Structure 1
Amino acid sequence: MRNRILIVLFLLVTFSSCSCNPENIAKFAFKGMEAMMGEGFMPSEEIRRLGNFQGMNVNLSKSTTDDETISTIFLKLQNGDPLILGNQPEVLARKCAELYLRDFENAEDYQQITVQFIQTDPTNPENVAMQEYMFDTKDF
């Protein structure tokens, strides 16, 4: 009985201290994700600043057809500054792809990178616009 009380107290102290610092939990989760997926998996703040993006997300995909395997990185950049995106978005997409591939240590395992600019309407979140640009990783 005494051991159970000590375990409960330990867990209570551990979880209550974590709730005060959610940033530390997020950093720990990101480090664990990068350790598993490779250094630089999470997009850098440099990419966020390029378009003043509010959200960033990465998905990795490998699809197999009859004769070949195509591996793609999907870099999703959400709610960027419309003034920056409106002025040559394909140039911005290429720069974001270049920065991501530079930082991601396992980039050579992928053949393509697709950069998606996703804009949502703040008054109606179901109203979404997306621009998509695809590049071969060997071009960088």
Structure 2
Amino acid sequence: MGKLTIKVHKCELYRPVSSGNWVVNPRVTVVVDGTYRFQTTLKKNTFQPQFSDSFVVGNTHRLAVIELSVYDVQEPSGLVLPGIGVLTAKRGVVRGVNCTGIDEANFSVPPQPAPPVVAAPPAVAAAHHRC
């Protein structure tokens, strides 16, 4: 058993499509296996926030399902999905007691057309799993 470390670095947002608001205060939410929920710090008034947040889930012994969402935090309305963009994730170094392997494959999801009310959220994150 090991631990899973998730590092959120940055995200790139496009202009909002539903709210018409030109001020965006993004926050990334990370959900692991539908059980563990983490949130990054709030970045004010930016479409290209830089994060340096790390989250650790201990005692993982299998592949985890990681969900990333980017929300626009607006007062007093709360959380809103800010628009469309690109989700990119990069695999890191996997180290075990008797093994070391490197997988640096990049995965990208191209921008998706926005549904009538809410759009698809973008984010960039890197996950490192240590067994």
TM-score normalized by the length of structure 2: 0.29
Which of the two has higher C-alpha Rg?
Answer: 1
Question: Looking at both structures, which has the greater relative contact order when contacts are Cα pairs under 8 Å and sequence separation is at least 6?
Answer: 2
Which one has a larger percent strand, Structure 1 or Structure 2?
A: 2
Which one has a larger percent helix, Structure 1 or Structure 2?
A: 1
